[in-house]
Amino acid sequence: MIATLSSEFQATPDIPVPYRVIARNEDTFDVTTLRVQPVSVPLPPFRAAQFSMIGVAGVGEVPISISSSVDDRIAHAFTIRRSGAVTNALVDSVIGDVVTVRGPFGRPWNLERSSGRHAVFVAGGIGLAPLRAAIDAVVNGGKARSVSVLVGSTSPDHQIFRPWLRSLRRAGVDVLRTVDHPGPATDWDGRIGLVTELIPQAVVGPPTDVAAYVCGPDPMMSATITALRRAGVAEADVEVTLERNMQCGTGWCGHCQLGPFLLCRDGPVLTATDVGDLLVRPEL
């Protein structure tokens, strides 16, 4: 039987709250999105790019960004790739199973910067998941002058959220896709190459009108910052979301340290100005 928690524990970051899996979708061969709902407390609000510690009792927990809309009052979605014992247990869960959740934690995207400007979202692989809530908020909020979504994947089989990307394109969003290798795909209509190669096509007009949001592997984010800088976009107008070995979610344990930052607390979102050379500097 699941213990019932009173609402006073809802915002207590040290206490895992039971959530029930109410839906699951296999996005790719190794990525699954779970929709989970609190068993006995209200669903906490969150802001785009914030993460929660989600886990399986007796196995452990991992930090995962919330990929559902910030306006969703029913459940939170977590897009999870198989990469170890905890993520395997989460991906293998079925509707009705109970997982544990702590959070949300962290510094969100500053979406106000996109108001009246051209919002450019650049994603590498599963890095599209922490951007999804932000893209939905900007597209549905109508404050941005225009929106471009650039997506890079290893292959078409690795690309997540394909139906959603098609819906964005139908809504008038500039969606550009590329893959490293098309493989055996016969329906691939995108480019082949690095996602940074799409930036000159997306950054048109005055670069001072661009607000950029980036998520993906560290080398990809570093290369994207460089490409945006070459296009004339100021580093203060570029935000990235970073992930390290987050364990406590509150910055107390120190495992998430990157240079002067504790990413649980100071991140995961930082500006390119904040990041400096931390993505290319060797970590000791």
Q: Which residues, including other chains, have CB under 8 Å from residue 128's CB and lie 6 or more apart?
A: 151, 160, 161, 215
What is the separation, in whole angstroms, between the first and last Cα of the chain? 45
pLDDT at 167: 95
Q: What angle do CA 122, 125, 130 make, to 5 degrees?
A: 65
Domains of the chain as residue ranges with CATH: 7-104 (2.40.30.10), 111-275 (3.40.50.80)
The CA distance from 280 to 128, in Å, is 22
For the chain (284 residues), the mean pLDDT of every run of 10, in chain order, is 33 81 96 96 93 94 95 96 95 96 93 95 96 96 93 92 95 93 74 93 89 94 95 95 84 84 88 87 62
pLDDT at 4: 35
The sign one gets for the Cα dihedral 58, 64, 67, 70 is positive
Radius of gyration of the chain from its Cα atoms, rounded to whole angstroms: 19
> Which ranges of the chain does DSSP label H, i.e. alpha helix?
85-91, 129-141, 162-170, 199-202, 218-230, 263-266, 272-275
- DSSP 8-state assignment for residue 11: T
Contact 133, 161 (CB under 8 A): no
- DSSP 8-state assignment for residue 200: H
Q: Which residues, including other chains, have CB under 8 Å from residue 72's CB and lie 6 or more apart?
A: none
Its pTM stands at 0.91
Cis amide bond preceding 219, omega within 30: no
